[in-house]
Structure 1
């Protein structure tokens, strides 16, 4: 079974939602047969790469909140994160463009390191003092290396603006086609969708239902026909 998760590194509910989904997946009896793929979604796609500002400033401008309201929201998110065993800095974080992170995640997917990298990116953005935005590409290279990726290869991806850009845009178009207007957005076997950072129990129910309703392959028997197999190919008979 395949689970696709559309997320953005700048999205706190994606950080919390991943922890809740991971908890449900860990308890799922068929977890070894579940492939998890992280897909790209930018919450702020029009933000220039160098446009970095404090999270509270971004919230007040984007949503018309007061500073007090924005801070209260961050405190609430901190409590939600703590309930899932996650660290969350409620003050002093910044916000910026995440396109390069998504490009790097597509590279990591090819190397089998995508889940490790996204976990490190989330932690770096929400729990650590060092910024994932203000320090440039070398900060992302450090995180890529921590995830098991080659430093020079990661650096080359980040230095080429076209590398994996099409893959990121394709993910975003597909999210729109599936009706995802926000993240996290979970798609199970292209049969079920779960929107938002639902409780682990909801993810557990979705996994069980999607697994139970998987359709076994139905073969159409039109009589024997030539085919190739482990022992070779059938030789046509006159």
Structure 2
């Protein structure tokens, strides 16, 4: 069974949602038969590359609330993160264009270390003071520590076209599936879960998706010649 998760590194609920989903997955009896794929979704693709700012005033302006309210929201997110055992900076965090980070995540998927790299980027954004949006060297260090080759990381970051089509394809798929926000979880392309739901919701979704997997129905399976591990059927004269 495949679970696809559309996320953005800017998104605190993606950070929390991944942890809650993993709580459910760790307890799922068929965990070893579940493939998890992380897909790209930019919360704000209009932010110019390298143009960053502090999260609290940005959130206050975006939602028409006071900076005190925005700061209180960050404190609340920090408390939720702590409840999941996740580190979280409640002040001084920034936001920015995430397109290059998504491109790196596609490189990471190709190299089989996507989950480790997304965890590293989340940690870099939500728990470390150096910016993942304005400090490329910080991103390189995180990606290499998570298992990527430094030369390949630098090559992707230096080439704006590298994995760009894959990121855009993910974003088109998200729109086609009706995702208007993240995190957005899709199980076997049959069931969707939107938002950082409690682990119990993910448990229910995993169970339902697993139970609905239909065995292949064979039509006229008895009469045709075929090849198998022991060879091919020998035509009878």
Q: TM-score, with normalisation over the residues of structure 2?
A: 0.95
In structure 1, what is the equivalent of residue 133 of structure 2? 133
Structure 1 stretch displaced more, 48-57 or 33-42? 48-57
Distance 1:207 1:218, change over 3 A: same
Q: Deviations over 1:95-135 (max 9, x none)?
A: 10000000000110011100000011101100111111121
RMSD of aligned alpha carbons? 1.4
- Aligned residue pairs: how many? 237
The CA distance in 2 between the partners of 1:236 and 1:73, in whole Å, is 73
In structure 2, what is the equivalent of residue 110 of structure 1? 110
Structure 2 counterparts to residues 60-79 of structure 1, below 5 A: 60-79=60-79
Q: How many Å apart are 1:220 and its aligned residue?
A: 1.4
Structure 1 stretch displaced more, 217-226 or 191-200? 217-226
The CA distance in 1 between the partners of 2:235 and 2:89, in whole Å, is 69
Distance 1:30 1:63, change over 3 A: same
Q: How many Å apart are 1:57 and its aligned residue?
A: 2.2
Q: Which runs of 5+ in 1 are unaligned?
A: none
Q: How many Å apart are 1:235 and its aligned residue?
A: 6.0
Q: Deviations over 1:174-224 (max 9, x none)?
A: 111111100000011111100000000111111111111111111112653
In structure 1, what is the equivalent of residue 12 of structure 2? 12
Structure 2 counterparts to residues 46-195 of structure 1, below 5 A: 46-136=46-136, 138-195=137-194
Distance 1:57 1:236, change over 3 A: farther
Q: Which runs of 5+ in 2 are unaligned?
A: none
Distance 1:236 1:105, change over 3 A: farther
1:38 aligns with 2:20: no
